[in-house]
Structure formats: C-alpha cells, structure tokens
Amino acid sequence: MSKETKKKLTEKEALSFPVIYPNTAGIDISSSMHMVAVPADRDTRPVRQFGCFTEDLHAIAKWLEQCKIERIAMESTGVYWKPLFVLLLEYGFKVSLVNARQIKNVSFHKTDKEDARWIQRLHSCDLLPGSFLPDEPTEQLRTLVRHRRRLLEDSSKYVLRMQKALELMNIKIHGVISDIMGKTGTAIIEAIIAGQRDAAAFLPFVDGRIKASHQTIEKSLTGTWNEGQLFLLAENYSIYKCLQQKILNCDSQIEKQLQQYAAMYQDGIVESGPAPVRTKKTKNQPSFDVKGYLYKIHGVDVTAIYGISESCAMEILSETGTDLSKWENEKKFVSWLNLCPNNKITGGRILSSAVLKKKAGAATQAFRAAANALQKSNHYLGDYFRKMKSKKGNKYAIIATAHKLAVIYYRMLTDKKPFNPIDVDEHREKIKTAKIEYLKRQLEKLQAA
C-alpha cells in the first residue's frame, strides 16, 4: 500500500470485531480523575469524567447501574485503581483489571476520553483478558510479606552505612568477620558506641567460631576515632535495631494471618499434620515455624523442593495463593511468571525467543533466587543449572532452572503429591549414556563421510 493511500483509521474502522458483551464499560484510571465510557446508546453523554473522592466513586457506580452495565474493564494504573475496583465489586459488577500494555495501541488521537472508549470497545469484543488478582486472605498476606521484605531491605542499608562509618575511621572489623551484625560484630559495635577505644579490650567479645586470629582482629580495630563518624555509627545502629524490632512485629502479624489461612483450609480447625523436617534458620528467616503453617495450608511440604526456603515459599504463597487452577496448566503458570521464552514467529520461523523484558514480580524473584542458590548443589537440579550455565551463561541458567522449580511447585500443589527428586547417580548415569550414544552417532557420520 502506497503512502498516499494510507489513511488514519477512524473510530468506526478501528474496531470491526463482533460485539460479544454489549453491556460493558471502560474506565481510564488516573490519580486525579477517572474517565468512564459506556456504549453510545446508553446515555446522551456516553463518556463522562469523574473525580477520585469516595462520593465520586459511588457516583460512577450509580451511573453505570443506570446505564445497565454488567461488565467493566479498567486500566491498572499504579494503586489508583484499587478503591474503585473494590467498590464496583461491592455493587455487583463483574470487573476486570487489564494490563496497560494490551490497550496502548490506540489507532486514533490519544486522549483520556478516547482511551476510555477504546477500553470499552475492546472489552465488549472480549479482547481484554483480565489480570490475576488474589483473593482477600492472599491480598492481606501479600501486603504483610511485602512490608517485611522492605523492612529487610531498609535494615541492610543501615548496615552498609555502619560499615562506611567504620571504614572512614579505618576500623576494618567488617572485613575480618563475615557478619558485622552477628554475635561478635554486634558486641564490638555496642562497645564502641559505649565509649571503648582500646583495641585489646574488644578481644573478650570475639566468639570462638571466628576464624580470624586475635592479632588480626586487634589490628582491624585500631584506627582513627572521629566524633562525627561515631555519632553516625550510633544513629545507624539505633535505627537498625528499631527495624529489627519492626520485623519481629511484622512476623507476629504474618503468623496470625497464616493461622487464619490454615484454619480456612481446614474447616476452621488447625490440626497438626506430619511435621516437616526442620532445618536451621538463617538470619533473615521468619522467627516462627513457617514450614508447619505451609504444610497445613498446602497439604504438602513445598520447602522440600531444592532451593525453596521458608521465606521463599512464603513469598510465593503471598503472590499466587493456593488455588493454582486459575492458570490452566503449568505452561500458563510459568508464562505468567515470565520464566519462559517469548517466541516471536513469522513465516514459520522463530525470529526471537528472548524472555519478555519487564520488571520481575515478587514470585518470579523468589523462584529466581531459589534457582541461583543451586549453583553448587550436588543433585540433579544443580547439574542442570551448571549445564545451562555452560551453554549460555549464568542469567540463562537462573531462568531455565527457575522454570523447572516453578513447574515442580505447580505440580506439587495441583496434584498434592510430595516432592520426589530424581536420584543424582541415576541422573548422571543417564546423561553419561546419552552422551556416549551421541558420540557414537557422530563417529558413524565421520566414518561414512
């Protein structure tokens, strides 16, 4: 088609698909106003602008009732959609939250008004799949778990600031011991804040598990004491301790939510099932028995999966819930997690198979972190990680292994079967046999040439 014959699509030409749901509305969301569009035959002004106050949200719902609307699609803009979404559900509408990426290609002049009309048209033709939204208990758990993760991130920032203050005074203790916030590091910092300056006086605080010699530790604690940096050290340590207390408070609230979750899935009665094998908790793990609650909720021990820790499993639960049937199969699940290739095919050829470039969600990050922890593991998933790494690098190996973990997780929850790993010796023997057969075929080709 020549440039002269190309014309801008009109609104009528922009949509020629048959209307499947006539009683639909589209809402364009923003922080200061909402633009609502209904079919042209429902009102003399089919597109209206509303404010964002609570009375405005009720006005939207009442106007949609007057227009006999049944289904509504709205754009997921920040967190501004949530109050209206919840209110419309209370009014009895069937509301779908749609990804902004699916509706951005408006063929005519882009305005808030046209965006709302475009959303309404697409939704009336059933062209806008709704985004996954958790149920109320999962939403509550997600809020708490995300808050806990932010508290951990903030506390790590203040540890770095403490290390900077020590470095500026040429105190090298953070380079001698592995964890400055461990038993030894905490005792030394508290002694410094209390006014101790003699390097030899810190030696009684050193735990027997520290590998560095007393002489090295004494040298690392000899520096130039600066009043300004000492003040910053004390302030940052105080904030760190406060954040640690906030994390404990958050853990207590998360435990209450998990108790309610477990009771909901056991008819209000939380019975103790077979106790999973307990492992030693790491520093940032929750302070309560996460494994026990997860077993009561899922019916299987998901922490038995290689790389899935307690906090990791809790993150995944808070993001996906327990009903994985919302995804038709494991392929849909890993696609939602963005742990599979985004194949672009034309003319029967794959042009690109790179993973879709978008910000990883919390569940995706949890699976990736679990996969990354398997680099040196002595089992079949560790072998698989190293094999993928040798092919295309570390990033590729993380995504490929996270894909396997997500599939295992999906199958465990849908089939309610425990994790049954492949025997590492049998797996390696199978790989060895396959490699021998491959080399034999290659040799036969060379001999025939």
Which residue intervals of 111-182 are DSSP H helices? 112-124, 136-168, 173-176
Q: How far, in Å, CA of 252 to CA of 148, rounded?
A: 11
Tokens read off for 205:
């605080």
* Domain finish residue from 124, 153, 171: 124
**Which among 222, 225, 216, 229 has a CA at the least distance from the CA of 199?**
222
Q: What is the pLDDT of residue 351?
A: 67
**Which among 98, 109, 92, 126 has a CA at the least distance from the CA of 28?**
98
Q: What is the pLDDT of residue 6?
A: 41
Q: In the Cβ-directed half-sphere of 71, how many Cα atoms lie within 13 Å?
A: 19
Q: How far, in Å, CA of 389 to CA of 401, rounded?
A: 10
Residue 107, domain member (yes or no): yes
**Which among 315, 323, 325 has a CA at the least distance from the CA of 369?**
315
- CATH classification at residue 30: 3.30.420.140
Q: How many Cβ atoms are within 10 Å of 79's Cβ, its own excluded?
A: 9
Please give the torsion angle defined by the CA atoms of residues 107, 111, 112 and 116, in that order, rounded to the nearest 10 degrees: -20
Residue 288, domain member (yes or no): no
Domains: count for the chain: 2
Amino acid present at 345: I
Q: How far, in Å, CA of 67 to CA of 84, rounded?
A: 18
Residue 337, domain member (yes or no): no
Query: Whole-prediction pTM value?
Result: 0.82
Which residue intervals of 265-352 are DSSP H helices? 290-298, 310-320, 330-336
* Domain finish residue from 97, 124, 151: 124
Neighbouring residues of 135: CB distance < 8 A, sequence distance ≥ 6: 321, 323
Residue 60, domain member (yes or no): yes
Burial code (b: 16+ CB inside 10 Å, e: under 16) for 125-140 equals eeebeeeeebeebbeb
* Domain finish residue from 99, 124, 149: 124
**Residue indicated by tokens 């978008």:** 358
Rounded mean pLDDT for each run of 10 residues along the chain, 449 residues in total: 43 62 90 90 90 92 92 86 90 87 65 85 86 86 94 95 93 88 91 90 87 88 91 95 95 92 69 49 81 90 92 93 88 89 72 74 92 91 91 90 94 91 86 90 87
- Domain limits for position 112: 11-124
Q: What is the pLDDT of residue 280?
A: 58
Distance of CA 235 to the CA centre of its chain: 32
Through-space distance between the first and last CA atoms of the chain, rounded to whole angstroms: 51
**Residue indicated by tokens 């307690």:** 310
Residue 254, domain member (yes or no): no
Residue 246, domain member (yes or no): no
Residue 392, domain member (yes or no): no
Residue 439, domain member (yes or no): yes
Tokens read off for 440:
């034999």
